[in-house]
């Protein structure tokens, strides 16, 4: 119970910090503008003549690629630069509690941006009769994908005192995980690598699991994949911060 209370305290502190800075509002506005522009202008939502949200969800991984590393780059980098990370970790809290509180706050912050896109759902429902099960599955997949991006961003933020370096590392790491299953990438490995390695590289990609949920299929395997990515990245963050603390 005390552990949950401590995580909740850090969670509230971090979430409040987001909304006390202009970053939160800039992120929300840019996210909504980008998703709207990509959906209606680039993907020609109205011209398709289909009442579904496939064009809307299609762009989420690419919008996250730019915005989530920007939203998470200060989670640990700023604490380390200002020297407050040492103060935070001398308080009666564990590293696990600090990491979980920050992660949940950042994930909820990104998820709020996703939820604020609900007018697109209303527009689609007004124009036709979309399958709301597919819509729900798409939103669930998008929020899980955002959680994976946030976990990666937390790890890269913990690696440097510089927010810029944290952003660049986060963007590169997310890009690799996004494109790992892309044909040109797997094709490169097929030329010289054994089949099991090609399959392993393809299996770490975000996209197949996201695309499955985007089509309306909620598979335990996909949910487990995203949960595993989050756990792995948060565990790696714990190791990095532990090493920094003892250095």
Place of tokens 């909620």: 218
Tell me the C-alpha distance between 48 and 17, whole Å: 41
The pLDDT score that the predictor gives to residue 192 is: 59
The pLDDT score that the predictor gives to residue 82 is: 61
CB 98 within 8 A of CB 88: yes
- DSSP assignment of 197-234, as one string? HHHHHHHT-HHHHHHHHHTT---HHHHHHHHHHHHHHH
Q: What is the pLDDT of residues 183-195, one digit of tens each?
A: 666 666 656 566 6
Domain, as residue range, for 204: 2-246
| Percent of the chain at pLDDT exceeding 70 | 84
Tell me: pLDDT of 247 over 60: no
Q: What is the pLDDT of residues 103-162, one digit of tens each?
A: 999 999 999 999 999 888 888 888 888 888 889 999 999 999 999 999 999 999 888 888
Per the structure, the count of domains in the chain is 1
CA 123 to chain centre: 26
Q: What is the pLDDT of residues 216-233, one digit of tens each?
A: 888 899 999 999 999 999
């Amino acid at each position: 119970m005390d552990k949950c209370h401590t995580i909740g305290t850090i969670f509230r502190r971090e979430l409040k910090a987001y909304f006390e800075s202009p970053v939160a509002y800039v992120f929300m506005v840019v996210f909504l503008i980008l998703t709207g522009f990509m959906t209606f202008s680039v993907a020609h939502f109205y011209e398709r003549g289909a009442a579904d949200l496939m064009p809307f969800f299609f762009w989420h991984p690419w919008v996250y690629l730019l915005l989530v590393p920007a939203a998470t780059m200060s989670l640990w980098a700023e604490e380390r630069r200002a020297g407050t990370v040492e103060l935070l970790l001398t308080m009666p809290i564990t590293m696990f509690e600090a990491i979980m509180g920050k992660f949940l706050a950042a994930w909820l912050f990104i998820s709020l941006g996703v939820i604020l896109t609900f007018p697109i759902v209303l527009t689609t429902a007004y124009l036709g009769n979309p399958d709301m099960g597919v819509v729900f599955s798409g939103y669930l997949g998008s929020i899980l994908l955002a959680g994976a991006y946030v976990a990666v961003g937390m790890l890269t933020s913990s690696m440097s005192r510089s927010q810029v370096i944290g952003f660049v590392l986060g963007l590169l790491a997310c890009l690799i995980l996004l494109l790992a299953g892309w044909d040109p990438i797997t094709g490169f490995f097929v030329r010289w690598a054994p089949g099991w390695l090609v399959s392993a590289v393809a299996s770490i990609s975000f996209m197949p699991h996201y695309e499955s949920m985007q089509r309306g299929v909620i598979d335990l395997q996909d949910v487990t994949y995203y949960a595993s990515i989050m756990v792995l990245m948060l565990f790696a963050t714990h190791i990095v911060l532990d090493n920094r603390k003892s250095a």
